[in-house]
Structures are given as C-alpha cells and as structure tokens.
Amino acid sequence: MRRALLLAATPGVPVGPNPRVGCVLLGVDGDPVGEGFHRGAGTDHAEVAAIAAAGDRARGATAVVTLEPCHHTGRTGPCTAALQTAGVTRVVYAQADPNRAASGGAQALAAAGVDVVGGVLADEALDLNRVWTFAMERQRPFVTWKFATTLDGRSAATDGTSRWVSSPQSRHDTHRLRALSDTMLVGTNTVAVDDPLLTVRDDHDVALPHQPLRAVMGLRDLPADRRVFNGDAESLRLRTRDPHEALAELWQHERRHVFLEGGPTLAAAFVRAGLVDEVVAYLAPKLLGAGRNAVADLGVTTMVDALELEVDDVSVVGPDVRVRGRI
C-alpha cells in the first residue's frame, strides 16, 4: 500500500475533478506484477493501468489500491468491471470512495465473489486527497484564501502599489501552491487595477504545462485586453457577486479546489459566507502605517467575536513568515 500511495503522489500529475490514485498488483506468489497511477481526467484509472502492465499475470492477483475502485461509467468505464474481467480475486483498498456517483465498488466486488479488504493506511490516503475528499463530501470546491501583508496588516500602500509586499521566495512558494489547485479566483477590481496574469510559473519564471482555470468574479465590465483573458490559460467570467453562486458554477465546471487571490472585498465576502476552508498568509517584515487592508469588514465589532485560525503550520519563507491554518 505504501508503494501505491507513492505512485498516487507522482509529481506533475495535473489536478482536476479526479483524485490521486495508485495501484499495485500482486501475483499469485505475492510478488508485484504490475503497477499504475491515475494521470489525470480522461486517462486510465490506476487499476486499469496496473492491469495493462501485468497482462496475463493479473489473473488470480491481488489489487492493492489507495481508493476504493469506482463503480460507475464516466470518461472511462468502471474499475470494478476491469478488475473482474482481468481475473483479480482480491482487492485491498485504503480510503472508501466519498464520491456519491462512483462509490459502491467494494460492495459490488464482494457480491461478485472478490475478496475485499478496506481501510489499510486509510489516514495516509485521506491526507493525500484531503481537498478532493472535502469537495466530494460538501459538493462544492474547497477554498484556499491566500494573501500577503506587511507586519502592520497592509496589503497595499496608500498610492495603491502592492508590488511587492512579499519576497521573491514567498512568490515562488505561492506558485507552488497555485499549482496544487485547479482554479485561481479574483474579483473584477483586482483585474481592473492590478491586471494580473494569474498563471503558474516555476522558479525560473517559465509557465508550467498544466495551468489552473483563471476565474474572474463580479458584474463589472472589463477590457478584453486584460492579461487574465489572454491565451496563456483558460479563463472564465463568473457574473455574480454571490460566493455561493460562484462556487456552484465552478462545481458545474468540475472544479474542486479554488485558490482565492482576490482583494479585500472579495475575501471578506467569502469569509462572511463561511466559504473559506484554508488560509495561507505571508507576513513580510515591512511597515507601511497606512494603506489597504488584506480583508474588508467582516462584521466583527468586539475581540471576543474575532475569527480564530486553527494553525496547521508556521514556516519561514525567505525573510517572510507563512502561516497556514483553518478558520
């Protein structure tokens, strides 16, 4: 199972509507005969890839897979059918499938006479797909809100300049986190004022081959020459100011992880709606004394009502401090 988890976590696999899954087939003598992992939407699932690698040796084999085999037809056929056709007689999986449309694989396999064991290293598998699992359970995208401020809480100076609050190291780290999402979301004001490119680049400023969707939320009309609308990545206008409506539309577009990088008004709207699931804040060792805050009014009027983060990690990134947590 640890080998299957390692396969599932293979770097470079584009994120999207599907989870990360790895599979190892053990032959009748207990030795590995094939392995595979899911390479992105529309490609063979991990079980199918492992069966193809094993060939005839899959008959009588045990499939060790990080997620309960799917039992539905989407872009590809059900893995339960593929395992039975290949002659696999035992399936060991880690995490039960939370996807309502695809679950039930373990029950179907058991009904067909396959020996099924679940829950092996389930916590490790859940951690690997924590965002996707959250999205499946809540039926909406997971939202990460990222922002950078000075030590006195300013995200821009009084003249509106915000480049750069944080260090090059923090900006590189932001691109790494962006690459783990499938959508970057900003408001129309950010596009109008800052004209961000909103692509994911490596440490050498080279665009990565797989780019998240660039979503722009709001009713304001924008010039067509804004960089977010160029051909470097897919773009989508969300003609609403309602965070619930925006996430519902993104869900219909099969988006599961939103990286919120909008300004203070958009950030406040999502926080007040209870739709921020994770916060990533970069605190730069700078002082402005005045300027724009990272977030607008949250409706909090007294300290006892302040929203507190459950902090998961505090790290030093270059000269900055990165705080990561949940509200």
Own/partner pairs, 99-108, CB within 8 angstroms, 24+ separation: 99/70, 99/136, 100/136, 101/72, 101/74, 102/70, 102/71, 102/72, 102/74, 103/68, 103/70, 103/71, 104/71, 105/68, 105/69, 105/70, 105/71, 105/78, 105/79, 105/80, 106/68, 106/69, 108/71, 108/80
Cβ pair 233, 199 in contact under 8 A: yes
What number of other Cβ atoms are within 10 A of residue 303's Cβ?
6
Query: Which one of 35, 47, 68, 278 is the catalytic residue?
Result: 47
Q: Helices (H), strands (E): how many in the chain? A: 10, 15
Tell me, what's the pLDDT at 325?
97
Q: Which residues pair with 154 in a beta bridge?
A: 293
Tell me, what's the pLDDT at 201?
92
- Is residue 261 marked as binding? yes
- Domain 140-326: CATH superfamily is Dihydrofolate Reductase, subunit A (3.40.430.10)
* Alpha-carbon span 255 to 138, nearest angstrom: 13
Tell me, what's the pLDDT at 18?
87
- Is residue 265 marked as binding? yes
Helix or strand run (H / E) with residue 128: helix 122-128
Helix or strand run (H / E) with residue 24: strand 22-26
- Is residue 6 marked as binding? no
Q: State in Å, rounded, how far the first CA of the chain is from the last one.
A: 33
- Is residue 124 marked as binding? no
Tokens of 87: 């002659």
- Is residue 249 marked as binding? no
Tell me, what's the pLDDT at 17?
87
Tokens of 199: 């692509």
Cβ pair 53, 22 in contact under 8 A: no
> What is the CATH architecture assignment of 2-136?
3-Layer(aba) Sandwich (3.40)
Q: Where in the chain is the domain with CATH 3.40.140.10?
A: 2-136
Q: Which residue has the tokens 């724009």?
A: 292
- Is residue 290 marked as binding? no
One digit per residue, the tens of pLDDT, for the chain of length 327 reads 999 999 999 988 877 788 999 999 999 999 999 999 998 888 899 999 999 999 999 999 999 999 999 998 877 789 999 999 999 999 999 999 998 887 899 999 999 999 999 999 999 999 999 999 999 999 999 999 999 999 999 999 999 888 899 999 999 999 999 999 999 999 999 999 889 999 999 888 899 888 999 999 999 999 999 999 999 999 999 999 999 999 999 999 999 999 999 899 999 999 999 999 999 999 999 999 999 999 999 999 999 999 999 999 999 999 999 999 998
Using alpha carbons only, what angle is made at residue 187 by residues 263 and 241, rounded to the nearest 5 degrees?
A: 115
Specify whether 234 is catalytic: no
Tell me, what's the pLDDT at 262?
83
**This prediction's pTM:** 0.91
* Alpha-carbon span 257 to 96, nearest angstrom: 20
Tell me, what's the pLDDT at 209?
87
Q: Where in the chain is the domain with CATH 3.40.430.10?
A: 140-326
- Is residue 83 marked as binding? no
- Is residue 326 marked as binding? no
Own/partner pairs, 302-308, CB within 8 angstroms, 24+ separation: 307/271
Tell me, what's the pLDDT at 148?
96
- Is residue 236 marked as binding? no
- Is residue 251 marked as binding? no
- Is residue 132 marked as binding? no
Q: Which residues pair with 313 in a beta bridge?
A: 324
